[in-house]
Structure 1
Amino acid sequence: MILRDIAKKILEFNKIAVVAHASPDGDAVGSTLGLTLGLRSIGKDVDVLSKEPGPEVLSYLPLYAEYGELNTLKEDRTLLLCLDCGNKDRLSMERDGFSEIFKINLDHHVSNEMYGDLNYVDSKSASTAEIVYELLEELGVPVTEAMAECLYTGIVMDTGSFRFPSTTSKTLRITSKLLETGVNFSKIQRMLFATSPFKQVKLLGRALMTLESHFEGRVSMMNLEANDFNVLSISDRDTGDIVNYGLEPKEAEVSILFKEAEGFFRVSVRTKEYLDASALCAVFGGGGHVRAAGCNIEAEDLMHAKIRMLDEIERMMTS
Structure 2
Amino acid sequence: MGLVDIARLISEKDNIAVVTHVAPDGDAVGCTLAMVEGLRSFGKKAVVISRDRAPDNLTFLNLYEEYTGTSPKIPKESGLLIALDCGNLDRLSLDLDSVGTVPVINIDHHLSNDMYGVENHVDTKASATAEIVYRLLKLMGVTITKGIAESLYAGIVADCGSFSFESTTGETHIIAKELMETGIDFSMIHRVLFKTRDFARLKLMGKGLQSLEERMDGFVTFMYLNAEDFNSLSISDRDSGDIVNYGLESKTCDVSVLLKEAEGFYRVSIRTKSLLDARAICEAFGGGGHVRAAGGNIKAVDVEDAKRQILAIIERMLPDGRSD
Aligned to 1:270, what secondary structure does the other structure show? strand
- Contact 1:127-1:154 at 8 Å conserved across structures: yes
Q: Which amino acid aligns with 2:22?
A: A
Report the alpha carbon displacement of residue 78 of structure 1 after superposing the two structures with TM: 1.3
Aligned to 1:52, what secondary structure does the other structure show? coil
Q: Which amino acid aligns with 1:6?
A: I
Aligned to 1:9: 9
Tell me which moved more, 49-58 or 92-101: 92-101
Matched, 1:270 2:281: no
Instruction: Give me the whole-angstrom Cα distance separating, in 2, the residues matched to 1:161 and 1:28.
Output: 16
Aligned to 1:134: 135
Matched, 1:47 2:47: yes
Aligned to 2:218, what secondary structure does the other structure show? coil
Instruction: Give me the whole-angstrom Cα distance separating, in 2, the residues matched to 1:98 and 1:260.
Output: 32
Cα shift readout 1:39-74 (whole Å, capped 9, x = no counterpart): 010111111011111111111111111112311111
Pair 1:167–1:157, CA change in 2 (3 A): same
Taking only aligned residues, the RMSD between alpha carbons, in angstroms, comes to: 0.9
Aligned to 2:95: 94
- Contact 1:73-1:96 at 8 Å conserved across structures: no
Instruction: Give me the whole-angstrom Cα distance separating, in 2, the residues matched to 1:64 and 1:235.
Output: 20
- Contact 2:241-2:269 at 8 Å conserved across structures: no
Report the alpha carbon displacement of residue 278 of structure 1 after superposing the two structures with TM: 0.8
Q: Which amino acid aligns with 2:264?
A: G
1:120-199 → structure 2 map (5 Å cutoff): 120-199=121-200
Instruction: Give me the whole-angstrom Cα distance separating, in 1, the residues matched to 2:54 and 2:98.
Output: 24
| Percent of pairs with identical residues | 55
Aligned to 2:167, what secondary structure does the other structure show? coil
1:1-319 → structure 2 map (5 Å cutoff): 1-67=1-67, 68-318=69-319
Q: Which amino acid aligns with 1:239?
A: S
Instruction: Give me the whole-angstrom Cα distance separating, in 1, the residues matched to 2:262 and 2:229.
Output: 11
Runs of 4+ in 1 over 4 A off after TM superposition: none
Report the alpha carbon displacement of residue 184 of structure 1 after superposing the two structures with TM: 0.6
Give ranges in structure 1 of 5+ residues lacking alignment.
none
Instruction: Give me the whole-angstrom Cα distance separating, in 1, the residues matched to 2:241 and 2:191.
Output: 14
Q: Which amino acid aligns with 2:314?
A: I
Instruction: Give me the whole-angstrom Cα distance separating, in 2, the residues matched to 1:293 and 1:76.
Output: 36
Aligned to 2:217, what secondary structure does the other structure show? coil
Cα shift readout 1:163-206 (whole Å, capped 9, x = no counterpart): 11110000000000100100110111111111100000000000
- Contact 2:49-2:72 at 8 Å conserved across structures: yes
Q: Which amino acid aligns with 1:19?
A: V
Please, what TM-score do these two structures have when normalized by structure 2?
0.97
Instruction: Give me the whole-angstrom Cα distance separating, in 1, the residues matched to 2:287 and 2:153.
Output: 26
Q: Which amino acid aligns with 1:35?
A: M
Report the alpha carbon displacement of residue 290 of structure 1 after superposing the two structures with TM: 0.5
Instruction: Give me the whole-angstrom Cα distance separating, in 2, the residues matched to 1:57 and 1:317.
Output: 38
Cα shift readout 1:264-287 (whole Å, capped 9, x = no counterpart): 111001001110111111111111
Instruction: Give me the whole-angstrom Cα distance separating, in 1, the residues matched to 2:100 and 2:211.
Output: 44
Q: Which amino acid aligns with 1:16?
A: I
Aligned to 1:147, what secondary structure does the other structure show? helix
Aligned to 1:173, what secondary structure does the other structure show? helix
Size of the aligned set, in residue pairs, is 319
Instruction: Give me the whole-angstrom Cα distance separating, in 2, the residues matched to 1:273 and 1:14.
Output: 46
Give ranges in structure 2 of 5+ residues lacking alignment.
none
Report the alpha carbon displacement of residue 236 of structure 1 after superposing the two structures with TM: 0.6
Instruction: Give me the whole-angstrom Cα distance separating, in 2, the residues matched to 1:102 and 1:38.
Output: 20
Instruction: Give me the whole-angstrom Cα distance separating, in 2, the residues matched to 1:75 and 1:300.
Output: 44
